């Protein structure tokens, strides 16, 4: 059975509170339930992790070696600032998909830059929670 690690970055834990006009009114607990249901439907096992700390995210990526067949990452604000996160993704060799709830290509100029994208086999943006389900499908189709 495929095992996928889902990593959510800073402020994702504030879903439903933070800018609901951009990120929606559903909570982080709602997102976790959606991810678990999507994984169950796809026949994969998932573990979800959220942190506001870049170092904790890097540690989690490194700890995935030998444990997971894929990584779904929503690095949130670190998408546009972190070099350490894509470096960790590249170092593990684990296929990764970048997910964003909003369409970062239609937002502020600085949000259009993703350092994480080059370390991922796909980027899914602007599809809300459904982006995570699509990422599960992408990773499920990769043999690793």
Catalytic residues: 23, 100
Q: CB of 59 within 8 A of CB of 84?
A: no
SS3 of residue 40 by DSSP? helix
Structure tokens at 32: 């976790």
* CA distances to 6, 11, 31, 124 from 16, in Å: 19, 11, 10, 20
- Computed from CA positions of residues 13, 15, 16, 20, in that sequence, does the dihedral angle turn out positive or negative? positive
Supply the Cα-derived Rg of the chain in whole angstroms.
Answer: 14
Across the chain, the runs of DSSP E, i.e. the strands, are 3-8, 45-50, 70-74, 96-100, 122-125
């Amino acid at each position: 059975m495929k095992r996928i690690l889902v990593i959510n970055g800073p402020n994702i834990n504030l879903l439903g509170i933070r800018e609901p006009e951009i990120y929606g009114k559903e909570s982080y607990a709602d997102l976790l339930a959606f991810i678990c249901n999507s994984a169950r439907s796809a026949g994969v096992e998932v573990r979800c992790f959220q942190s506001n700390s870049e170092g904790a995210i890097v540690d989690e990526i490194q700890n995935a070696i030998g444990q997971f067949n894929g990584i779904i990452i929503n690095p949130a604000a670190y998408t546009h600032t972190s070099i350490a996160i894509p470096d960790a993704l590249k170092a593990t060799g684990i296929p990764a998909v970048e997910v964003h709830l909003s369409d970062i290509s239609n937002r502020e100029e600085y949000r259009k830059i993703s350092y994480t994208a080059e370390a991922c086999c796909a980027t899914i943006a602007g599809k809300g929670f459904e982006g995570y389900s699509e990422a599960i499908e992408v990773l499920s189709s990769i043999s690793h």
